[in-house]
Amino acid sequence: MVETPTLPIHEVASEIPPAPRGTPAWLRQIIAFAIIAVALVAFWEGYKALGAATGGMIPLTAARLPVRPDDKSMPHVFDILAALFKPVQRGSENTLLSFLLRSALFTWREALVGFAIGSLVGFALGVVFVHSGLLERGLMPFVVASQTVPLLAVAPMVVIWGSRLQWPAWLAVTIISAYLTFFPVTINTLRGLRSPDPTALELMRSYAASDWQVLWKLRVPAALPYIFTALKISATASVIGAIIGELPSGIADGLGRSLLTFSYYYVSGPEKLYAAIFGAALLGIVFVVIIAQVERMVVPAGRRIE
Amino acid sequence: MKSKVKWGIRLAALLVVVTVVLTACGGAATTAAPAATQAPAATEAPKEMTKIKLQLQWVVQSQFAGYFAAVDQGFYKDEGLDVTILQGAVDIVPQQVLASGQADFALSWVPKALVSREQGAKIVDIAQVFQRSGTLEVSWKDSNIGKPEDWKGKKVGTWGFGNEFELTAAMVKAGLDPQKDVTIVQQPFDMSLLLNREIDAAEAMTYNEYAQVLEQKNPKTGELYKPEDLTVINFNDVGTAMLQDAVWAREDWLSDAKNQDIAKRFLRASYRGWIYCRDQFDGCVNVVLKNGPTLGKGHMTWQLNEINKLIWPSPAGIGVMDKKLWDQTVQVATSQKVITTAPDAGAYRTDLAEAAVKDLEGQGADVKGAGYTPKQVQITAGGE
């Protein structure tokens, strides 16, 4: 059908990267990640050292550095890491790290439900649009408009409706999360469902395949790589949606509250806010890695869009 | 073609896994999330519990300690009330939550609630828990700002959003034109502008931002800043203080005698919570810390002490309105055009608060705190 590669994928792939043989791909990835992480830390600390040397000025000019290089604005990386292993509260047995992990898990639950709802809705919309040009033209502007409305304005509204309808607080959060999730899935599903070669579609028709058969035997398999690309985007978006949704809903157990409290008491411990941001970033990364692993299991190697 | 079949099976298997995980998580989310909306204890409910919602202005902190203590110590339960505390959050306006019926009681500063009332929200101040204002205007000692007149020509910070009226009223009282004689600077909700000396004076609550300055290290000495490093203008002394945290309820809701009884029971239990926080200081701090596991212990200890100072002594009993201060609040609010006209007499009532005070007095509780002396709280670096 549409698969172009006829020769085994591994051979094609091994010709391109001139990487040392024997080093597994995952190890190379970790090394690359570590190098970049070290470079970022070096830049951060270098910026601070530069600022300390010039008194907060850009060298040889009278202009201030864009961000104050002091410890309040930019705590040392070491202090941020150290904060993770200090008790979250004086006398508490929990470290900030374990507290943040628990908050992240709580937020992830909300995000995961939102992600599932958003992905299903997004997929369904894609399927509807590929079969009905009229619906696509009629609905697509609304779908696009939904994403241009600022989430910060939508979130409190959803929370207020939710409390009027006596929803549990987390439900509003998952809906906000789903709201951010469905859009990339819709767009990419639509594109993926349209990706099969016209000759393949004609062949299916010549076999008298029904629309349903064309969808599941041709269109959806062809769309999978596109859908997974969208799911990776949506995974991070669902986490952002959940955190933003937690802010107006007064939910105390998630990352949103940690970020809120630590920014409220920023001067008392800037490193804690950075640590919480680190926790949020980690959650996004883990989520994307999981989706990538699922993709690995579902989509054949040659057809992934990396 | 083989791979086509395979992906189908794989996807099906995956869907099963995902469904299982989601159901598990969904179940977990339902059980974990409503920590705030406690299910009624089915095991020991001797009488019918009345479900009540209280909306706070912000997330848990010592400012609301009395209500958390009343939950923790079972004072609400004693009154047959199952109270859910709705924590405040970004974009949540308590008196609007109250007016729209999503809470039975709400905490609000008086001037802010009066604005809502003027705009048509029929809400009533039923208990003026904080008897004085906690707002300060703080400056460095070397700025030589000892009285409002000294703000002339200086950069004076305020949070805005309705927090600036005590300040602008004090300026007017000192003969300054807030538009011309001073530079009013919008400050963020922390003290960084003052700490960086980007402004000369900053608005600060006694129980929060003021302590945040003292919890910082002075880069010159390497030690924490001391109260002697700062000059403080207290709006209670200036005479432009406005009343702050009060319990509000809806007028129509209160017209039902049954609800008046609920309100009385709610106030009784809340007062017991505040009395607990005065007399069992450390226990009360621990209740706050338990409800807010990321809050600094040092900072919350300081905060509770300052909050106690705003409540005690309460000469007519806790929560009973001091008419003089109400009038002052209204006078400042109208002169600053916060509200266009003075509110009618129905804007506050003292009968419920007085009845609750009388009941507690009958039980031998100290509802006035005439002999109250504040604690000496040790400042900790970063409020840890």
Q: H or E segment at A97?
A: helix A96-131
Is A294 buried (19+), middle (13-18) or exposed (0-12) by CB count in 10 A? middle
Residue B151 has pLDDT above 90, yes or no: yes
**pLDDT bucket at B10, cuts 50 / 70 / 90:** low
Q: Chain B: residue nearest A222 by CA? A: B4
The reply to whether residue B30 touches residue A264, judged by beta carbons under 8 angstroms, is no
* CB A181, CB A151: distance < 8 Å: no
The reply to whether residue A170 touches residue B33, judged by beta carbons under 8 angstroms, is yes
3-class state of residue A149 by DSSP: coil
Residue A18 has pLDDT above 80, yes or no: no
Task: Mention every residue, 6+ apart, whose C-beta is less than 8 A from residue B333.
Answer: B111, B114, B165, B242, B339
ipTM tops the 0.95 cut: no
Domain annotation for chain B: domains and CATH numbers: 50-132+243-383 (3.40.190.10), 135-238 (3.40.190.10)
pLDDT digit string (tens) for B105-119?
A: 999 999 999 999 999
Report yes or no: B2 at the A interface, CB cutoff 8 Å. no
| Nearest CA-CA partner of B67 in B268, B350, B209 | B268
Is B144 buried (19+), middle (13-18) or exposed (0-12) by CB count in 10 A? exposed
Q: What is the DSSP string of B253-277?
A: HHTSHHHHHHHHHHHHHHHHHHHHH
pLDDT digit string (tens) for B280-315?
A: 999 999 999 999 999 999 999 999 999 999 999 999
* CB A176, CB A189: distance < 8 Å: no
Is A71 buried (19+), middle (13-18) or exposed (0-12) by CB count in 10 A? middle
* CB A48, CB A74: distance < 8 Å: yes
Beta bridge partners of B230: B140
- Say which of A260, A269, A294 has its CB closest to residue B14: A294
Residue A194 has pLDDT above 50, yes or no: yes
Q: Chain A: residue nearest B214 by CA? A: A268
Residue B6 pLDDT? 58
Residue A260 has pLDDT above 80, yes or no: yes
Q: Nearest CA to CA, how far is A31 from chain B (Å)?
A: 31
Domain annotation for chain A: domains and CATH numbers: 8-74 (no CATH), 87-303 (1.10.3720.10)
Residue B315 phi/psi, 5-degree rounding, is -55, -35
Q: Which amino acid is at B151?
A: W
Mutate which of B196, B289, B294 to disrupt the A interface (most A C-beta within 10 Å)? Answer: B294
Q: H or E segment at A229?
A: helix A220-249
Mean pLDDT of A135-154: 90
pLDDT digit string (tens) for A102-136?
A: 999 999 999 999 999 999 999 999 999 999 999 99
Report yes or no: B94 at the A interface, CB cutoff 8 Å. no
Report yes or no: B38 at the A interface, CB cutoff 8 Å. no
* CB B24, CB A108: distance < 8 Å: no
Can you read off the two tokens belonging to residue B95?
A: 């008196």
